[in-house]
Amino acid sequence: MSRHEDELDALGRIAGDAVTPRAQRGPRPSGRVSMAMVAARAGVSGQTVSRVVNDSPRVDPSTRIRVEAAMAELGYRPHRAARALRTGRSRTLGVVAQTLATVGNSRMLQAVAEAAESRGYALALVTLGAEGRISEAFDRLHDQGVDGAIVLNEASALAGDADPGGLVLVVVDAPPDPRFAVIGTDHAEGARIATAHLLDRGVATVHHLAGPAGSFAAAERERGWRGELAARGLRAPDPLRGDWSAADGYRRGAVLAADPDVTAVFAANDQMALGLLRAVADAGRRVPDDVAVLGFDDIADAAEFRPPLSTVRQDFAALGERAVRILVDRVEGAGSDERAGGDERAGRAPHAAGANPALLAPALILRASA
């Protein structure tokens, strides 16, 4: 046996060492669970257990099921660090976010975490803050040995200006880039249908409480709002730009509420819409009789606003699941038969690096505010 084989054999033994028991059924040992104990319970060799642990294709499906059942019964969990050394993969995905203070980012992180856990991956999170540099975030994730990374929302605007250094990336809400895959919600379409609904109420125009400059999602939502107004021959009023927060929605909303010509407002997210609702009420005007208000995101509390908020729903769970699936497929080298639009005609998967973004369709959710 070569020195390299000796090292791999030692690592295989390490992978069977100390774990926390977590039995699901049947008798279990009172102490630590080893790979040899799993092998004895399943009636296979230790090498077969090692192959199952390390996702080797050289295992009969029925045998794999038997070994996995034994692992579950005994509460065996492989040593992550040892497996990383053996396989060259850490089974850890990085996540880069500007902040977790916004509902959209926190919901995306939750969705990504659940999708990653379902595939046996852990997460390493880096937040940039107001002054953070995404290149430094990539360096930190490289140092942590992640297999790949997902860049969320506002941080996505910075991804195109930084060298990921070979890191496999999926970027949420960004223009196409030859270096990474891009997915997102069709924000422009969501804004268009929101604006169309407000105009169909018979108002003269729709004002816009926009998101921050530099946000791709905010820019796309503004584009959809402007596009629907232009399609109906209407000039777009000057938008007021907020920072996604309810407090800023109230401040900007007070300006809109004080203008008697403002009878319909499309807010770029639900948090700003919440502040706007309060501003309209404080101005002595009624929603929706005097001012119709429609948001974007459909956060968990949107139906509990006063009045309940009409909004555009983006499916955070589906977005997080798709981001993780695409990243894991790229990390593990799996192909995909998924095709869409022009990429189908070009023979390219929409999540391939440089392809047109794979966009999820939003949905208009109508409640009492509009």
Q: How confident is the model at residue 83 (pLDDT cuts 50, 70, 90)?
A: low
Residue 31 confidence (pLDDT): 64
Domains defined along the chain, listed by start: 3-87 (1.10.260.40), 92-185+316-359 (3.40.50.2300), 187-314 (3.40.50.2300)
pLDDT digits (tens, 9 = 90+) for 194-252: 999 999 999 999 999 999 998 899 999 999 999 999 999 999 999 999 999 999 999 99
Mean of pLDDT values over 52-69: 87
Is 12 strand, coil or helix?
helix
- Indicate if the pLDDT at residue 84 is higher than 80: no
Range with lowest mean pLDDT among 8-12, 110-114, 257-261? 8-12
Residue 131 confidence (pLDDT): 73
Residues in the chain: 370
Residue 252 CB partners (closer than 8 Å, separation 6+): 209, 240, 241, 242, 272, 275, 276
The answer to whether 282 and 275 are in contact (CB under 8 A) is no
Rounded to an integer, what is the distance from CA 305 to the centroid of its chain? Answer: 25
- Indicate if the pLDDT at residue 292 is higher than 80: yes
Residue 200 confidence (pLDDT): 98
Residue 129 confidence (pLDDT): 81
Say what percent of the chain tops pLDDT 90.
59
Residue 229 confidence (pLDDT): 98
43 or 7, higher pLDDT: 43
Largest CA distance in the chain: 85
Supply the mean pLDDT for the chain: 84
Instruction: Among 31-35, 260-264, 340-344, name the most confident range.
Output: 260-264
13 or 43, higher pLDDT: 43
182 or 89, higher pLDDT: 182
pLDDT digits (tens, 9 = 90+) for 299-319: 999 999 999 999 999 999 999
Side by side, which strands form the sheet with 264-267?
240-241, 207-210, 264-267, 292-294
Residue 345 confidence (pLDDT): 29
Q: How confident is the model at residue 192 (pLDDT cuts 50, 70, 90)?
A: very high
Q: How confident is the model at residue 343 (pLDDT cuts 50, 70, 90)?
A: very low
- Bin 347: left if φ > 0, else alpha if -120 < ψ < 50, else beta: left
Strand residue runs (E) in 6-137: 92-97, 122-127
pLDDT digits (tens, 9 = 90+) for 95-151: 999 888 888 889 999 999 999 999 989 999 999 887 778 888 999 998 888 999 999
Q: How confident is the model at residue 329 (pLDDT cuts 50, 70, 90)?
A: very high
Residue 288 confidence (pLDDT): 98
Residue 256 confidence (pLDDT): 98
